[in-house]
Copies of this chain bind each other. A is one copy, B any other.
Amino acid sequence: MTEKEDKMNVEKAILDAATEEFLSKGFSGARTVAIAEKAGVTHAMLHYYFRTKEKLFECIIDTVIKELIDSVTEAYKRQDASLSFEDRVVAVMNAHLDFIIAKPQLPSFLFMEIFPSTENFKLIKEKASSALGSLNTQLKEALESANNNEEIDNISLPMLISDVVTLNAATAISSQLATKLLNITKEEYVAMRKQENEILIRKRLKK
Q: A-side interface residues toward B, CB under 8 Å?
A: 24-29, 107-109, 111-112, 115-116, 118, 121, 125, 156, 158-159, 162-163, 165-167, 169-171, 173-174, 176-177, 180-182, 192-193, 196, 199-200, 203-204, 206
A159 touches B29 (CB 8 A): no
Cα of A165 to Cα of B182 in the assembled complex, Å: 15
A116 touches B28 (CB 8 A): no
Write 10 A-B pairs (CB below 8 A) sorted by A numbering: A27-B29, A29-B29, A108-B111, A109-B112, A115-B177, A156-B192, A159-B192, A169-B173, A200-B204, A203-B203
Cα of A199 to Cα of B111 in the assembled complex, Å: 25
In the assembly, how many copies of this chain are there?
Answer: 2
Cα of A24 to Cα of B167 in the assembled complex, Å: 23
A182 touches B158 (CB 8 A): yes
**Contact partner, A196, options B27, B163, B176, B196, Cβ 8 Å:** B163
Return chain B residues, CB-CB under 8 Å to A166. 166-167, 170-171, 174
Return chain B residues, CB-CB under 8 Å to A108. 108, 111-112
Cα of A73 to Cα of B172 in the assembled complex, Å: 26
11 additional contacts (CB under 8 A) given A111-B112, A115-B176: A25-B28, A26-B26, A112-B112, A121-B180, A158-B182, A163-B200, A165-B174, A167-B170, A170-B170, A199-B204, A203-B203
Return chain B residues, CB-CB under 8 Å to A115. 176-177, 180
